[in-house]
Amino acid sequence: MEQLDHLPGSMECVICHGPHDYRHEEKAVPTAGPGEVLLKVHSAGLCASDVACYKGAFGYWPGDGMPGFVQPPVVPGHEFVGTVVGLGEGAAEKHGLALGDTAVSEQITPCWNCRFCNRGHYHMCQNTEIYGFRQLAQGAMAEYMVFPKNAINHKVPESVSIDHAVFIEPLACAIHAVDRGNIQEGDTVVVAGCGPIGLGMIAAAKAKSPGLLVATDLHEDRLDLARACGADLTLNPGQVDVIDEVRDLTEGYGCDVFLEASGHPAAVDQGLRMIRKLGTFVVFGVFKEKVTTEWSIIGDRKELDVLGAHLGPNTYPRAMELIGSGALPMDRIITHRLPFSQIDTALDLTAGGAESVKVTLAPGL
Ligand SMILES: [Zn+2]
Ligand SMILES: [Zn+2]
């Protein structure tokens, strides 16, 4: 391994041992094998999926006759940025990276061999290895991490501050969700939920020249951020009837595209009611509860396109460009930078949502 400077033998990190069991520990510093990259982590973000994993949510852990996705003990963290400090044999050429580069790696490390990978849908890889959940893709809540040889890595351009680059991952996801919405010029677009993903969607949707871009959230400070990201109009469902408002704004038709980023069952119901016939409804939110709604609206009444969105395939370069362009008030979006020892606080802040937007952890604090 070609390396930048002397590396310590051990490092501090967070280790997920199971639901409600994340510990601040010491671990050996990993090394980069052939084709692999060693990164000195600058910061790691938390998101709803980290909270869901911590809380033992369905899908992450075995239950209901389904195997779990998580392989403990594992270092969490799939949103991150850092500096390249080690390159295994052939890694520099393979990934276009040099020692000292600021770099990110897409959250999924595909197998490049399954049906999905072979057809260009690598983000849906059947043998999915997502950083922070799986043994083969240890995450970023550590001083150092390895990008496995199958990873998709990007050098972060100088236009993006290393402090802001931790937001590339969530923004890449938001851009993919907006792409799924297929916004046409002049459309009325509603983004439900102004957390990190919703704010990213607003900035990405703005670039598609919608006629009216509406954001909804229960928190006034988040609505303020939504306007800073490009929302033309913000609505608080706690104060107004958002369905009536959107219908009034569209001559009674409803919005053309509805992007769900709140994870609240109520937003799904509102979305199905405020969207016009033949509209496009995109689901990104991670839901804590099951959603109950008038399902027949989708077919019998409106013939909707209801689409899911997962991860950020082919969108990292655009996410870097968007951050570099200054389209998002990054210093207000990244609200917290805490030491690894405060992982529990970081998870609480992310779960609560009222006092934080993007919570990050960083080594050496
Ligand atoms: Zn995430
Ligand atoms: Zn695959």
- Residue 66: pLDDT band (50, 70, 90) is confident
Structural element, H or E, at residue 266: helix 265-274
Query: What percentage of residues in the chain have a pLDDT greater than 70?
Result: 100
Tens digit of each residue's pLDDT (9 = 90 or more) over 232-277: 999 999 999 999 999 999 999 999 999 999 999 999 999 999 999 9
Whole-number pLDDT of residue 65: 84
| 198 Cα to the center of ligand 1, angstroms | 13
The overall pTM is greater than 0.75 = yes
- Residue 135: pLDDT band (50, 70, 90) is very high
Tens digit of each residue's pLDDT (9 = 90 or more) over 70-82: 999 999 999 999 9
Type of residue found at 142: A
| 331 Cα to the center of ligand 2, angstroms | 36
Q: Which residues contact 38 (CB under 8 A, 6 or more apart)?
A: 1, 3, 7, 30, 31, 32, 84, 85, 86, 87, 88, 144, 145, 146
| 311 Cα to the center of ligand 1, angstroms | 8
Q: Note the ligand closest to the C-alpha atom of 77.
A: 1
Other beta carbons less than 10 A from residue 310's beta carbon = 14
| 235 Cα to the center of ligand 2, angstroms | 41
Q: For 301-313, what is the mean pLDDT? A: 97
| 124 Cα to the center of ligand 2, angstroms | 7
Q: What does the mean pLDDT of the chain come to?
A: 96
| 49 Cα to the center of ligand 1, angstroms | 6
Whole-number pLDDT of residue 61: 94
Q: Classify domain 2-159+325-362 at the CATH class level.
A: alpha beta
Tens digit of each residue's pLDDT (9 = 90 or more) over 147-179: 999 999 999 999 999 999 999 999 999 999 999
Q: Where are the domains of the chain?
A: 2-159+325-362, 174-308
Reference 75, options 118, 112, 125, 22; nearest CA is 22
Q: Classify domain 174-308 at the CATH class level.
A: alpha beta
Reference 98, options 106, 87, 89, 110; nearest CA is 87
Report the alpha-carbon distance of residue 124 to residue 126 in Å, rounded.
6
Decide if pLDDT at 354 tops 90. Answer: no
